[in-house]
Amino acid sequence: MVELGRELWERGLEQVEESHDEGDTAWEIEKCMEIVFQAVTSSSLPGPQQLLWMIDTFLEDQYSLTDSCKKFIQNKAYEQEAHRTQCYGRLVDTFLQSGNHKMAREWCVKGFQKTATSAPGIASDLKEKLRELALREKKFDPVAAYRADDFFNYPSRSNYIDYPNIAGRAQGKTPIDGSP
């Protein structure tokens, strides 16, 4: 069933690209994908592979065909799989692509807490995603805190130069380099 679901997904994307029917085809494919996602969760695939299958599908979705399927990835079983497989970055990217910044931030924090000592590379990536989220939302206080943390943990010229600009923005000042 999972293989058929993949084929339905690929052919459905092609059909949606070529259709000019005011979204009727997209709506029908979205309803079919709900059944496919349900089948994936019931399949014999191991949990991590189920999660990656769903994440890959979300990342390929250019037409919001999987919006109604988000409930599957938010299921507690998949949260446990994310913890077990440490696929936090991909899960966060999925939430960012779907516009769910709240869940993305929540998973960045959860993932960072779980990987800070055991997988510092993953933790660093998640911290960077948190910084980017804060920057997008023009929340310069946390951005400045992340930059300060970078500087104190990894002193470098670029971290030193960047920090005053971010700190100035947090205080409402114009950056030294003249950037907006």
Which residue carries 């994307």 as its tokens? 13
Regarding whether 106 and 55 lie in a shared domain, the answer is no
Q: pLDDT tens for residues 80-131? A: 778 788 989 988 887 787 778 888 899 999 999 999 999 999 999 999 999 9
100: region left, alpha or beta (phi > 0 left; psi from -120 to 50 alpha):
beta
Which residue carries 């947090």 as its tokens? 170
Q: Of 117, 96, 116, which Cα lies nearest the Cα of 105?
A: 96
**Domain-embedded: residue 79:** no
Q: pLDDT tens for residues 3-44? A: 898 999 999 999 999 988 888 999 999 999 989 988 888 889
Regarding whether 90 and 62 lie in a shared domain, the answer is no
Residues ≥6 apart with Cβ < 8 Å to 148: 163, 167
* Domain, as residue range, for 147: 139-180
Read off the tokens for 84. 């077990």
